[in-house]
Structures are given as structure tokens and as C-alpha cells.
Amino acid sequence: MDNNLRIYIHVPFCKSKCNYCDFCSFADKDYMIQPYFEALTTEIGLYKNDYRGRRIDSIFIGGGTPSYVDTKYIQYLLSCFDIDRDAEITIEVNPGTVDFHTLRAYREMGINRISFGVQSFSDRMLMLMGRIHNRATAINNIHESQVAGFENINVDLIFGYPDQSYECYAESLNVVKSLKIPHVSCYSLSIEENTPLSGMLKKGLLQYPNEDLDRDMYALTIDSLGKSGIYQYEISNFAQPGYECRHNIGYWIRDEYLGFGLNSHSLLNECRYSNKNLLNDYISILNKCEKPVKESNMLTDTEIISEYIILRLRMNRGLDINDFKTRFSIDFEERYGSQIDDLQNKGLLEKIIYSYRLTRKGMDLANKVFVEFI
């Protein structure tokens, strides 16, 4: 067993919910922050035997909006772990919920990577998305983080949003480049049921996104960032060399990880499990010092192999056939010859020396590739 372990911590509180958001988060439960963190601390203690002696190589504090809660909660959570000296420690923040002093406090407590949920640098788009910040606030907060000592900075952007033009999205990419951001995560909008955005679309208040325009924006992302030295290394992630997100790469190479908090997920000893997703249930079961697991699934060999293939193909470096054979004692090309031939003939998959990877077209149609290996 690899000694590396990743830690994810979920903070479900927000100042307000965005129009497109269906994440496990709340904008009206500030009175639950204290009891939630008490329960979270209990949960971390219940798993002490699982992470004792393991090398904690990365911690990711996500949400929700972790920057919405007092820094004392974040600092205490980090003190619960014996973190490797060279660990990558990321916190997600939303512009408008931090200032220089908050950012400096994060840096002083050992957080060395910050991820800004900007989504757009267009004030009009931010209003349509229901974001709490504007362009100026986002740019100011990013500058403050740089002054506070952060070099490893990520910005999230969304493309394919209703009423978002190609030129509008291109401008957001240009702002990212002008700010010298070393990591960018760019996501095609996913319209989720029971969100305000879904309701607005059904009522005809907004037009459904154009699929061709969405793909044009994705191609622009790859080309525009690449020309500035911010290279694609995964379907939705781009970085200057050396700034790739270590934590997320851990997911894609199937490192073990423990997820703490509401609705978080874990992979341990080839078992995937998820926590309860109702806040009161999560807290009440931890008040009884019981683990808040909602579902668990011991993976079969077939599921493990499928996961390995799909996750490796998400990354630009692709799937190494020698590593595959070492892990599973299976010749990848013999086992999946027909799928490989079909995908290559369709221009979705290519072989580079000893690795298979998605082509540019394959990146566009990744799910059509993945389903062949399930």
C-alpha cells in the first residue's frame, strides 16, 4: 500500500447560493457553523487509526465557501493532522469573503495554495450567475493574495453559460493571463435540476446554451492559455509547469484519500464511501461518536480497472500500458483491442510511444470514450 494519503475537508456554508449551484451547501444556516465544526472535529478523531503513520501529501478545504467561516475554524482543523512538510494545502475562497488580513492568516497557518471561485470577470455574467462579487473585487482579492505571499493560485472559470458570448469569455481568459495566474480550472456549465438557473431556463427567462459555442469556448481555452504557457494537463485543468494541482492528480491516479464533512467521499482499501448529506443527520450521529457514513461500496476488480482507465484518460499524459500491465497483469492492448481500434478510427484516441491519450476531439467527446471501458 502506498503511504501517501490525501485529505478533503468540506465546509458547506456560504453567504448566498449561486443560481447554478447544486452542491451540498447552505446560505441560511450560520447558527450551525459552531456545532458543525465540533462534529467535524469528532469525525476526524474517529479516523485517527486510518491516517496515523500515513504521509499526508495534500489537504484540500472545499465547499461551500470555506472562506466564509472564521479563520479560527480552519486553523484548528489543520492542527488535527500531522501534515508532511512539503504537503500542498489548498483552500477554496470566494471573492468578497476575504481581505488581506484573512489571506495573510491563511498563509501563516501553512496554507500554500489558494483557489478563487471567480467564474467570470464580466460583471453582467456574475450578476446572471448570482455571484456576490464583481470584477473589481475579484481582481483586488487576487492581488491581495499575491501580496499576502501566495504564489500557487488557481482561478475557476465557467463557460457555456446562458447569454455568455465568445468575446465575453475570451476577456475573462485575458484577465487571468494578465494577472499572472499559474493555474486555471475551466468548466463547461452543467445545468442541474432544482436550481434557480434551471427554473429560469424552463420559464424562458434565459436561452439554453448553444452546444457549438460551448465547444468553441473550450477550444479557445486550450489554445489561448497554452500560448501563454498555461498548458492543459487534464480535461478541465491548465497550469504552468510545476503548478499542477497535486491533490486532484491524486484523485486521478487513485491515491487513497479521506473525506471529512457533510457529503464528502473517501477511497480507502479499495472501498469507496460517502458521508450523510443532511446536516442534522451528520451532526446527530457524530454526537453519538459514530462515523457518519451513508453508503459504502467495496470495489470489484472490474470496477477498479475501469476507474483506472477512465481517470488516467482524463489527464493529457494518458494511460501508460506498462504501468497498467504491472498493476493488473493484463495487456491493455490485448484486452481492449477492439475498443482501441474503434476509438482510434473515430479520431478520439491516439497512441504516443507507450501511452494512450485522448485527442483534441476525444477531449470534446470524453464521455463517449469512457463508456467503452465501463
SS (H, E, C) 240-259: CCCCCCHHHHHHHCCCCEEE
User: What tens digit of pLDDT does each residue of 166-184 get?
Assistant: 999 999 999 999 999 999 9
- Write phi, then psi, for 157 (nearest 5 degrees): -130, 150
**Architecture of the domain whose range is 301-373:** Orthogonal Bundle (1.10)
**What is the rounded average pLDDT of the residues 90-102?**
97
Query: Residue 374: what pLDDT?
Result: 87
Of 2-6, 142-146, 160-164, 212-216, where does mean pLDDT reach its minimum? 2-6
**Burial annotation 51-80 (CB, 10 A radius, 16+ → b, else e):** beebebbbbbbbbbbbbbbebebbeebbeb
CATH topology agreement for domains 4-251 and 301-373: no
At the topology level of CATH, where does 4-251 sit? Answer: TIM Barrel (3.20.20)
Task: Tell the burial category of 90 from Cβ atoms under 10 Å away from its Cβ (0-12, 13-18, 19+).
Answer: buried
Cα separation, 107 vs 149, in Å, equals 7
Q: Are 97 and 15 in contact (CB under 8 A)?
A: yes
Query: Residue 235: what pLDDT?
Result: 97
| In the chain, domain spans | 4-251, 301-373
Cell matching residue 173: 481568459
Give residue 39's pLDDT band: very low, low, confident or very high (50, 70, 90): very high
pTM over the 0.75 mark: yes
Give residue 26's pLDDT band: very low, low, confident or very high (50, 70, 90): confident
Query: Residue 194: what pLDDT?
Result: 86
